[in-house]
């Protein structure tokens, strides 16, 4: 089970890195919360570091409607 989980995380990291290398904006998101928020929320230190190195903005403020549904905020 743990190895399967690790493999999934590795694939996600590889995919995100590929997208960033091809010019994806680390601040773009189709939902109201930035991608960096999800990396922080999941405790994925390597992904947080990668996103910050590629220009993710850590100072984004969530709107009241989003904050209401966020456990972490």
Tell me: pLDDT of 32 over 90.
no
First to last CA, the chain: 30
Range scoring the smallest mean pLDDT among 31-35, 44-48, 49-53:
31-35
Break the chain into its structural domains and give their ranges: 2-67
What's residue 1's pLDDT?
Answer: 46
pTM greater than 0.75? no
pLDDT score at 55: 94
Mean pLDDT throughout 35-46?
88
Do the beta carbons of residue 33 and residue 68 sit within 8 Å? no
Q: pLDDT tens for residues 10-22?
A: 888 899 999 999 9
Give CA torsion, residues 23, 27, 30, 34, to 10 deg: 140
- Separation of alpha carbons 40 and 14, rounded Å: 18
């Amino acid at each position: 089970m743990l190895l399967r989980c690790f493999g999934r995380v590795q694939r996600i990291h590889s995919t995100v890195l590929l997208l960033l290398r091809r010019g994806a904006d680390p601040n773009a998101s189709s939902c109201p919360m930035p991608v960096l928020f999800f990396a922080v929320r999941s405790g994925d230190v390597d992904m947080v570091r990668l996103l910050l190195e590629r220009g993710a903005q850590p100072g984004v403020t969530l709107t009241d409607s989003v904050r209401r549904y966020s456990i972490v905020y």
